[in-house]
Structure 1
Amino acid sequence: MRAIGKRVIAFGLVNVPVKIYSATEDHDVSLHQVHDKDGGRIRYQRRCEIDGEIVPYEHIVKAYDSGDQTVVLTDEDLSSLPEERSNEIEVVEFVPDDQVDPIMFERSYFLEPDSRSSKAYVLLRQTLEATNRTAIVKFALRQKTRLGALRVRDGILMLQGLLWADEVRQPEFSSLSETVQITDKELDMSSKLVASYESDFEPEKYDDDYQIQLQKLIDAKLEQGDTIDTEATFGQESEGEKGEVLDLMEALRRSVEKNRGEKGSAASAGKAGGSKVSGERATRGSRKKAG
């Protein structure tokens, strides 16, 4: 895993330097949008409404629309905020573990000690375990101030982002306002049904059936030849769409396959430089790999 940042857990006069790692990842099959008529890749362009030009990411900044006026906020403006500059994970209180409602949980991060001595890290971990407490913290990450819960999972300190209180909606269902009578026999039978399903939760027993079936469908179409040419599908990129080469192995693989195809075709044998992968094709190959 690659760390996404470094922070210092601060509670009292104790500082615990840590590295932050994303605790979860997405394994969904990557899909693109194409034109059903000819299979051409559908692309979304970042076009300026004033001059009509396509704008590359490095020239795009954020803005706030107040209705009558628009305030432009540059990266420098946002990074100048005191909370954004802070590298602390500030412990504000310790609460009983069962007082943190799971509905508030957002993203999860693993924390690794980032110092020669991990004693402060281990001390905090053992303290949380011994007291059955969760540390409520405030921290800044990716230009956003966050509330978090610091707890222990399998001997590792875990930081879980929390929603702010006003981000959790209050349910108002009129259908639950009416009185419903449940008999003892109904409740007893329902409890027996629950008992018949009782088990220990083992998340590894479950698979994402949709993604498995989707991959089987894709593999079947590849095997049956129900495909279209990838290069023709991706089309020609404009200057504003070129990106960084992300996957060298994918570029090399496509180079070898393209070179073999050209050697087997007399019509394309005279194309000079045809075996080389341009920066655009390497970019397209890497994007196809990365989804």
Structure 2
Amino acid sequence: MVQWFMALSPVQQASLATLFTWGMTALGASLVFFFKTIHRKVLDGMLGAAAGVMIAASFWSLLAPAIEMAENAGQTPWLPAVIGFLSGGAFLWGVDKLLPHLHLGFPTSEAEGISTSWRRSTLLCLAVTLHNIPEGLAVGVAFGALAADLPSASLAGAVALALGIGLQNLPEGTAVSVPLRREGVSRGKSFWYGQLSGMVEPVAGVIGALAVIWMQPLLPYALSFAAGAMIYVVVEEVIPESQLARNTDLATVGAMCGFALMMTLDVALG
């Protein structure tokens, strides 16, 4: 199985890796078939862990390789990282202002983005979908970087990133499906909306892989762009949502554990 995966092209590897992360979102959403509610403390701890994984992945799997690649190419090491990082945050800021969505725990009247009459279930799903765009891009860019045959881009590192993103997708699927079930939506529809939020990751993954293969000189910028987009999501959405019910210590411990897990995966495998 390992040899077969290694023989695939980077785009095919990115496709399979992001299908895995989507599958983990669906696995998290499937908990709705067993539970109608989930304790808020459990959810906050899971969201905190997801934030920790995303923060660690942003540096260990994206920013650090971007700086190393720029340095090896004779560029100013920090410049591509800064430009890409801020561009990724600006991109998500723009999407956040335009895409109608609703954060967990907030009433429908506080939906963000362009005003719409869409249902609460759709708005919740779109909020998590917004999280998953940079995650899919990050995995795709990491695998696409393998085509550049650079020392700082390794298959093990890309796999570690996909594993970390997949693990933190579990609570995201649950965070959509279980609250919808609690509000009276059927189990089937709750699961559908929960897994639907992860469907964007394979699309974003393939786009990210193709982009860096076609434009290899932009690779440090692409890696940093994905990092900036993920950090924007973490600071603007995931961390505030994890502390909304004032379970701040639990969410913080979850973030620390998530960070440590992703750091271990990246260093041990990458």
| TM-score for the superposition, normalised by structure 2 | 0.21
Larger radius of gyration: 1
Between Structure 1 and Structure 2, which shows a larger proportion of helix residues? 2
| TM-score for the superposition, normalised by structure 1 | 0.20
Q: Which has the higher contact order (CA 8 A, sep 6+)?
A: 2
Between Structure 1 and Structure 2, which shows a larger proportion of strand residues? 1
